[in-house]
Amino acid sequence: MVTSRRPSTDSSKQMEDGESGSAASTPEQESKEESDSDEAPQPADGSDTSPATRQPVLVVHGDREHLVRPGEEFGSDLGILEVPTDVEPGATLETHLGTEFRVRRLRGPDQFHHFTRTGAPMVPRDVGLIIGETGIGVGDRVLDAGTGTGVLAASMANAGATVVTYERDPEFADVARENMAMGGLEDAVDVRTGNLLEELDALEAEAPFDVVTLDTGDAPELVERVPAVLVEGGFVAVYSPFVETAKAATKAAREAGLSDIFVRETIQREMQFDDRGSRPSTAPVGHTGYLLFARLV
Ligand SMILES: C[S@@+](CC[C@H](N)C(=O)[O-])C[C@H]1O[C@@H](n2cnc3c(N)ncnc32)[C@H](O)[C@@H]1O
């Protein structure tokens, strides 16, 4: 479990089409040539507790960043680092060659970077819009589908909500559970294996939810039935990579009697500052998707 710094967070949704899943991968696997050790992690302190059961932390030295588990030993050109089983964020660890690493816990952007990827994860600007437009926060109960990598579900949990999220692909659901454990979010995010379309009737017993978030190709069909599980004043947010799905979801929201319906596309420009002057990056402005919001009023 070793990695370098993060690639652009805008790459994921642009490289993959909506819910199309690929073989599970992490950005660190994509940049594995930068890793220094492929060896399986070994308990450094003789502990017989499996490192896989303990929540990982980041160890950081300059622009080097590695995801490690308590009890793990990893090697690099900077030396061998033994990670104590009781390692705490804020601590400083030293390799056998005397290089210091600072220990950090994973925050949201670290989760985005380090989670094992299955379904294309939502990028920060789209997550931010969902949280901002729906007001997701402490005490909210959110119903989410599909889980995919779990980035949106984790982000909403980071904001203080508890999340019930459905993933129809059992292998993706398992990966998402591991991702939630990596983020220390297993109590806040309930990853359930199943097709939300088939679960909605049963879910009425657990309703109402404050917000429903949908990132699935069948979102229009789901939107039709959202009022049955949504609290009065609650929101539904739908992410669609294609305008056709956004249009169909809008029609479904109208027919379902939802109010305050609008669709947004998020476009983000990165600024460049150098000796010649300042301007937005000339890199292409990437489309990620359309976000529909509607409210039960
Ligand atoms: C694009 S990914 C979701 C990514 C996720 N929002 C994130 O931020 O990581 C879409 C996922 O939805 C799942 N899916 C599609 N339709 C579904 C449904 N009706 N119920 C549950 N999961 C579904 C797919 O298997 C896929 O993993």
155-170 confidence digits (pLDDT tens): 999 999 999 999 999 9
* 241 within ligand 1 shell (Cβ under 6 A): no
pTM of this prediction? 0.86
Strand order in the sheet with 162-167: 189-193, 162-167, 141-145, 209-214, 230-240, 290-295, 259-265
Which ranges in the chain are annotated with CATH 3.10.330.20?
11-108
Distance (angstroms) between ligand 1 centre and the Cα of 217 equals: 8
* 195 within ligand 1 shell (Cβ under 6 A): yes
Atom of ligand 1 nearest to the CA of 150: 9
Percentage with pLDDT > 90 across the chain: 77
* 120 within ligand 1 shell (Cβ under 6 A): yes
Write the CB contacts of 9 (distance below 8 Å, at least 6 apart in sequence): 109, 112, 113, 123, 124
Establish how many alpha carbons lie within 13 A of residue 220's alpha carbon, considering only the half-sphere containing its beta carbon.
15
Atom 7 of ligand 1, residue of closest alpha carbon: 121
The Cα 97–Cα 39 span in angstroms is: 19
| Dihedral sign of CA atoms 224, 226, 231, 236 in order | negative
Distance (angstroms) between ligand 1 centre and the Cα of 55 equals: 25
Atom 18 of ligand 1, residue of closest alpha carbon: 195
What mean pLDDT is predicted for residues 272-294? 92
Collapsed DSSP state (helix, strand, coil) of residue 234: strand
Q: Which residue would you say has higher pLDDT here, 205 or 268?
A: 205
Atom of ligand 1 nearest to the CA of 118: 27
- What is the separation of C-alpha 205 from the centre of its chain, rounded to a whole number of angstroms? 27
Helix (H) or strand (E) holding 172: helix 170-182
Distance (angstroms) between ligand 1 centre and the Cα of 288 equals: 16
The band of 9, judged by pLDDT with boundaries at 50, 70 and 90, is low
Res 125 pLDDT > 60: yes
The band of 14, judged by pLDDT with boundaries at 50, 70 and 90, is low
Res 46 pLDDT > 50: no
Q: Point out which residues pair with 51 in neighbouring strands.
A: none
The Cα 130–Cα 141 span in angstroms is: 15
Which ranges in the chain are annotated with CATH 3.40.50.150?
122-295
Atom 20 of ligand 1, residue of closest alpha carbon: 195
CATH class of 11-108: alpha beta
* 172 within ligand 1 shell (Cβ under 6 A): yes
pLDDT digits 0-9 by tens, 168-227: 999 999 999 999 999 999 999 999 999 999 999 999 999 999 999 999 999 999 999 999
Atom 1 of ligand 1, residue of closest alpha carbon: 19
State residue 12's pLDDT score.
57
The dotted CATH code for 122-295 is 3.40.50.150
Distance (angstroms) between ligand 1 centre and the Cα of 20 equals: 8
Atom 12 of ligand 1, residue of closest alpha carbon: 146
* 196 within ligand 1 shell (Cβ under 6 A): yes
* 121 within ligand 1 shell (Cβ under 6 A): yes
